[in-house]
């Protein structure tokens, strides 16, 4: 009888220990689940922040690219205008040389006429 009582007591004690361990395990599982939920929420927040930064960066890159393209286009127009001005100066210089040559030719004809007469 004593042995039966002892086994019953041990069995009850063992059962209580199992219940305590099960309760501890459930508590740890609840803490782990809560931690996982918190980490998941933090991850989603960080991903949203990263997306905002990506969009902001993309907009900055686009703006900088547009500025640079506008600057290049302005330089191209300046160079085109300079080339046009240089071409005009060359044409004026050639026209002036042509006039001088024509005057020189007229002088030569006059000189020949004077010498011939």
pLDDT tens string 36-75: 999 999 999 999 999 999 999 999 999 999 999 999 999 9
With 0-12 / 13-18 / 19 or more C-beta atoms within 10 angstroms meaning exposed / middle / buried, residue 43 is: exposed
Identify the pLDDT of residue 7: 45
Lowest mean pLDDT among 29-33, 41-45, 80-84, 102-106: 102-106
74/77 Cα distance (integer angstroms): 5
75/105 Cα distance (integer angstroms): 44
- Per-residue pLDDT tens for 93-115? 998 888 777 656 666 656 666 66
């Amino acid at each position: 009888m004593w042995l039966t009582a002892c086994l019953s007591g041990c069995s009850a004690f063992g059962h209580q220990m199992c219940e305590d361990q099960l309760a501890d395990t459930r508590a740890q599982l609840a803490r782990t689940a809560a931690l996982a939920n918190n980490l998941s929420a933090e991850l989603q927040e960080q991903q949203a922040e990263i997306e905002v930064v990506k969009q902001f960066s993309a907009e900055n890159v686009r703006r900088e690219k547009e500025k640079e393209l506008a600057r290049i286009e302005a330089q191209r127009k300046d160079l085109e205008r300079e080339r046009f001005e240089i071409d005009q100066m060359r044409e004026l210089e050639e026209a002036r040389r042509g006039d001088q040559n024509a005057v020189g030719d007229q002088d030569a004809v006059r000189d020949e006429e004077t010498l011939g007469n």
